[in-house]
Structure 1
């Protein structure tokens, strides 16, 4: 039987204690006498965390009860009452207090939650309560799975993050724990019980939370709680509003990439790998959102990266690589945001949801270190092809996303019914039944929050790039975009902006309407001028390049002439110049024109507002990927820099003259 959510799991259990997860984000618990209790899920989580942290002391308390059973996960009323009393005496108020009169019922509730989260198919309190530290730890790790099968229960998963933010603000461990625990939960409970909202406060924006606080200030229950708590509830909610505002600012200021595949090229030691790691650290969960993979020189096919079927022991088994596992973890992040899995379109499954869901989906950074030690177009062939099948569709604030599979369903079908692939991918929980069914039928596609970043060095030990690779990537000359300034070594004055994943795959006129190039015609004319130089050469541009230029404009949202030209300048650097390489013959048109020289002339005309030959490039443009570190309120965050592409073009021309061959790669 497929279990679609926690309530369905509980309905399978035949006992006297009915448990449901209601739409207003509370457990509805009915005891054997028919009495109904509403319990905040975070009270259960608080008890689970307390049990883990204080397991030794809880065990000692339990052992002192003469009537206890042989093992702590065996139900016996007096010994469990002692556990709850110990928890209540040490700050776990709500749930432990209720357990004094509803000991078996509360134990049944907690046990059902734990059983569900650790992937059990059934539960009976007479067999086990799961009150052991290993079960509780696994349940705590999988807490968000309780809500991800139904978007109504979309768990925001913010309380731990809120606690960490409070600690970073200088609050004590105790205050941070109280604010992110009892106080914020009580505020949420009052809001729900008084029908101020149809859902919990954890999903709200800072402005909506401020409105809720204004409402609460006229609520007598809130006033009483606040007075008894020395205004701690009010202070907690104010801090939560500040936390939300901070998170929205970070998300709002993130630079959306036009493609989720980037190449970072530069000399050794400039910090390319560290840059990717720093970007992943901005998510707040580096251990989850960052995967470093060192490319081996003997990689020549996609199985080296994405896994393969082994039949060494007679029975087929899929060998899961770290990269494939990480890709599936990125999918888990998407599912935990409460998005929906829709019916298939053209043999795919579709992920759909609202824009608000995306605020909960962090980017997952896969770093392919020294990626060109092996031929990239060989071992990355599947990814490069599937990358172009990504499809975003937007209707107002609603979106849908799909892609062709990296791991095909036909491959999984070869493994048979006894395959361990589901477990090996970390999808064994019943909460992933629907997702696994979709994966098994239609394959595992590219998760939209996956960003692949390859670090590149060019020397005698590495391979060059085919146009198949270059055309599908954003290629950054790391030294040009993120230069090492020795004077800033101890006290940096500039920082890198936060990058995030694309939200579109096809540019549309409506997306351009709010930009300086409202109909796209300026950018189209610019690309036509560039393409006129490249016409009839191997470097000529096509529709894909135009789409990606317009996507870049959409992502950057330029509001003036120089900001738009900054997008064009970076586009030339990332998408046009990396394609151009060769000797004098290859870089000369059939009419005898030198391509690099002619391109320089065109760029000086097209980028004139940021290029003035007579003033040695002193006319500048905003940097789209870096900004100044503000030290006072009067400082300007925008960092202005000289034109990048003309300087790079001149470097390529000088290299051609001196070495009779040139390319973009440093």
Structure 2
């Protein structure tokens, strides 16, 4: 069905559906979520690696103003913020507007109604003045039935019911607006030359409405080149995996035997985006075996009732004062002491993250009892601290018998990236002048905190959840199944990967099984072996009965399958085969050794 025909169906039938028909199961839902977006995706100028096309007529209840959005992935991934193209149907369904518009939800939360409208109108005025556009309306005289859509419009074209142009005109108009959209993004990206690392990178000529937009794939390649130029090589995709993990949750564990370059990787990644120990945006803290509480990190009160801030407290205080830049806090060899003893307070606070406008905040870092003393100046200085959205925690751990194991509380809250291979080759011809760019925190900042934030990707997420449900059913045999937190963070990772087009779904899901599911498996029961075999079937994509727990050479059968078959999730299947072999040889298995 053509785009014109689909628009006509909506304009003829939507008011009746909204006022007298049930929302659930209504044809309008399919029109907005699937049929119109798919028709637009079929256009040759819509590159689905670069653009998201989605639509909505409500979430559980009918929307007064339904819409179809086309978002450039490097600009925005949600209709709650940023600029994007959107078809807006008026609430009376007699008008359809093709607009370049602005997301307002987070602006309203941060600035209120009046402040949000002022902000959007300032940006519209700026772009209308600086981007050369002809043939498009440049006012805010739309009649839609939603004030924020009307005031947030930058450029638009009006179509009326009964007078819709033919499909060729609709297609040409959208193609034209795509080019205008690209020109606007280029204009917002223009900025003065950045200063050297260590200097302030505030751009005096930039306005408060200018935000950097990144070519994520390009930046990740630059980071890989930078790390290689410093004489270190890591497995393919480790940079991409690390980036997606940090984006999904600001706590990542780098695990492996001693000497595989875990700490160096964290340092080089941070350096490549402008975060060094010299400018205070990178802090590596060696964990001591005698850490039994959080005093070294958060602080303590002395015998005179005076509060002394800890290493992390002072680091976070600096990060809050500099929200533009990311900050990396690395706990080196973090499992030399029991992580739950000294880091559990921080882990719990990370879980309290919520959006406050465009920022992410948490519960207070320090409680009043710790801060209360006669020194009111000190109390006022530290009482309002929280974990800001520009602080990223990285733990390095050695996987050997000298360290403490992790509890499920820690594993559920982190991505565990294993560093097992050492690439000793050195390229003497590798240039050593790879560019360092000081990146804005937008590059790493989370955009989703709960699954409801991903409503624009509901159809895609459903497939991920179906697979996770199959995995969880297997884990239930040994009471090893995971909960909502793990589900959500895996979905975030997969969605970010889709948005930025970094790797295939199979590659991304492979990393998630390897990092979020398998680390929780350890023990010596026969049930555990059954779980490993059933997980191998899922990961290999081969559900044959020949994978039987009574087979004394089952691990060999698994390895043969990996070597000779087309495996769906190869890394995870390989790890499961290794864990199964260890079980057969030792009567015990674990992800960790």
Q: What TM-score do you get using the length of structure 1 for normalisation? A: 0.47
Matched, 1:416 2:374: yes
Is 2:469 the partner of 1:528?
yes
Shift of residue 386, structure 1, vs aligned partner: 1.2
1: CA distance, partners of 2:291 / 2:416: 22
1:646 aligned partner? 573
Correspondence for 2:527: 588
Matched, 1:518 2:464: no
Residue pairs, 1:87-486, within 5 angstroms: 248-249=214-215, 253=219, 255-256=243-244, 257-286=247-276, 287=278, 288-311=280-303, 314=304, 316-334=305-323, 361-392=324-355, 399-412=358-371, 414-420=372-378, 440=383, 443-479=384-420, 483-486=421-424
- Shift, 1:459, TM fit: 2.6
Deviation at 1:298, TM superposition (A): 0.4
> If the length of structure 2 is used for normalisation, what is the TM-score?
0.53
The change in CA–CA distance for 1:332 and 1:538 in structure 2 (over 3 A counts) is same
Alpha carbons of structure 1 residues 510 and 660: separation in structure 2 relative to 1, 3 Å: closer
8 Å contact 2:497–2:503 — kept in the other structure? no
- Deviation, 1:420, is 3.9
For residue 452 of structure 1, report the CA deviation from its aligned partner: 0.7
Deviation at 1:619, TM superposition (A): 5.3
Q: Distance in 2 between matches of 1:616 and 1:543?
A: 35
Q: Separation in 2 of the partners of 1:306 and 1:607?
A: 50
1:573 alignment counterpart: 514
Partner Cα distance (1:380, 1:617) in 2: 44
438, 446, 460: which one pairs with 1:502? 446
Say if 1:569 and 1:607, in contact at 8 Å, map to a contact too: no
Q: Is the 8 A contact 1:265 1:475 kept in 2?
A: yes
- Per the alignment, residue 343 of structure 1 pairs with none
- Corresponding residue number in structure 1 for 2:236: none
Cα distance change of structure 1 residues 248 and 458 upon mapping to structure 2, 3 Å threshold: closer
Contact (CA 8 Å) 1:392, 1:503: kept in 2 or not?
Answer: no
Change (3 A) 1:620 1:614: closer
Deviations 1:305-326 (A, max 9, x none): 2111112xx3x22112222111
Q: CA deviation at 1:539?
A: 1.0
Q: How does 1:44-83 map to 2 (within 5 A)?
A: none
Using the alignment, how far apart are the partners of 1:389 and 1:212 within structure 2?
Answer: 33
TM-aligned CA distance change 1:655 to 1:490, over 3 Å? farther
CA deviation map 1:505-561 (0-9, x unaligned): 112374553xxx734121111011111211142311222221112111222126999
Q: Is the 8 A contact 2:330 2:396 kept in 1?
A: yes
Q: Distance between the aligned counterparts of 1:542 and 1:465, measured in 2?
A: 17
Q: What is the DSSP-based 3-state SS (H/G/I as helix, E as strand, rest coil) of the residue aligned with 2:401?
A: coil
Alpha carbons 1:512, 1:554 under 8 Å: kept: no
- Report how far residue 252 of structure 1 moved: 7.5
> How far is the alpha carbon of 1:615 from its aligned partner?
7.4
The aligned counterpart of 1:661 is: 588
Contact residue 570 and residue 645 of structure 1 kept, 8 A: yes
Deviations 1:219-249 (A, max 9, x none): xxxxxxxxxxxxxxxxxx9xx9xxx999833
Distance in 2, Cα, partners of 1:616 & 1:212 = 50
Q: For the structure 1 residues 263 and 462, does the alpha-carbon distance in structure 2 shift closer, same or farther, using more than 3 Å as the test?
A: same
Secondary structure of the corresponding residue to residue 648 of structure 1:
helix
Which secondary structure does the structure 2 equivalent of 1:308 belong to? Answer: strand
Are residue 602 (structure 1) and residue 568 (structure 2) matched? no
Q: How big is the shift at 1:500?
A: 2.5
8 Å contact from structure 1 (residues 273, 455) kept in 2: yes
Partner Cα separation in structure 1 for residue 499 and residue 355 of structure 2: 22
Output the aligned Cα RMSD.
4.2
Cα drift, residue 410 of structure 1: 4.1
Distance 2:453 2:211 in 1: 31
After superposition, what is the alpha-carbon deviation per residue over 1:354-382, rounded to whole angstroms, capped at 9, x for unaligned?
xxxxxxx2221111001011000110010
Gaps of 5+ in 2: 1-110, 113-125, 132-180, 191-202, 221-242, 545-557
Q: After superposition, what is the alpha-carbon deviation per residue over 1:298-345, rounded to whole angstroms, capped at 9, x for unaligned?
A: 00011122111112xx3x2211222211111111112xxxxxxxxxxx
How many Å separate the matches in 2 of 1:249 and 1:559?
Answer: 8
Match 2:489 to one of 523, 527, 548? 548
SS in 1 for 2:573: helix
In the TM superposition, residue 467 of structure 1 has moved relative to its aligned partner by 0.8
Post-superposition offset of 1:383: 0.8
Cα 1:330/1:206, change in 2 over 3 Å: farther
Cα deviation for residue 207 of structure 1 reads 5.2
Matches of 2:189 and 2:503, distance apart in 1? 42
Distance 2:321 2:580 in 1: 48
**Cα distance 1:651–1:488, how it changes in 2: closer, same or farther (>3 A)?**
farther
For the residue of structure 2 that corresponds to 1:365, the secondary structure is strand
How many pairs does the alignment contain? 358
